Amino acid sequence: MKNIVEVFDFGQISFRRAWEIQKYAQNLLIGQKKQYRDGKISEKKRNDLLFFVEHPHVYTLGKSGDAAHLLKTSAELAKIEAEFIEIDRGGDITYHGPGQIVGYPILDLDRYFTDIHKYLRFLEEVMIKTCKDYGMQAERIEGLTGVWVDGKKICALGIRCSRWVTMHGFAFNVNTDLSYFDHIVPCGIKNKSVTSLSSLLNTEMDINEVKKKILKNFSEVFDVEVIDENAFSEISEIENEIEHIFK
């Protein structure tokens, strides 16, 4: 029987709010694992999750990152309506903003494989397949994490894993304003630039269509059944449904 991954699309939501939701969901799955281990429950009824979000302009710095890779002061960030947040994932600095599809899988890797490097390669494969759906030949670059087209990064990855339950995930540039990457050293990698689906194809992309292709490829690569539970257009709707999602 295939694992089930429930998908929730939160639309545009602040990074900090999405971070809190992820931590809450991760802790629920960790708690379930402990209960199962201690014999308090006979089966793991909570499914894995995948959150789609879009963030307002924000730069996030991972635990192993270098703050010097942010090339703007706080005052300069305010002028471009962006914020800077130091967070708990791996990796260096990256940008999130409108037109970018951010995916946060909350997976219990005990259900799949307990191998972080393999997990990252699986996420890369999902995005490589998605690029192929649009006629793009995407690839990995040895020694670097992420997905690249013609030597330019189109998808960044950064995760956190606790007791083999994941959080954070991927950021796929679709209709992204790439000029925002000029204010950082993306992922701390010098002499490498970024790209997006829209810039490669010279057209505005249908974000929802791209998400459907990502889900198709995610289900194939991870060999799971994907259930698209709901879509939320307002933060107030998210607040009202949090208890339902995690009941």
Supply the range of the domain harboring residue 111.
Answer: 3-245
**Predicted confidence pLDDT, tens digits, the chain (247 residues):** 899 999 999 999 999 999 999 999 999 999 999 999 999 999 888 999 999 999 999 999 998 888 899 999 999 999 999 999 999 998 889 999 999 999 999 999 999 999 999 999 999 999 999 999 999 999 999 999 999 999 999 999 999 999 999 999 999 999 999 999 999 888 777 878 999 999 999 999 999 999 999 999 999 999 999 998 665 444 445 445 555 555 5
Helices (DSSP H) in 13-163: which residue ranges?
15-37, 74-79, 116-133
Output the pTM of the full model. 0.92
- Strands (E) located in the chain: 3-12, 48-54, 58-61, 83-86, 93-96, 100-106, 147-149, 152-162, 165-173, 224-231
Instruction: Give me the CATH number covering residue 182.
Output: 3.30.930.10
User: What SS3 class is residue 200?
Assistant: helix
> Quick one: angle between helices 116-133 and 207-222, nearest 10?
130
* Maximum C-alpha span of the chain: 56
Split into its structural domains, the chain has a count of 1
Distance separating alpha carbons of residues 132 and 139, to the nearest angstrom: 10
Q: What's the one-letter identity of residue 18?
A: A
Asked about 187 being catalytic, the answer comes back as yes
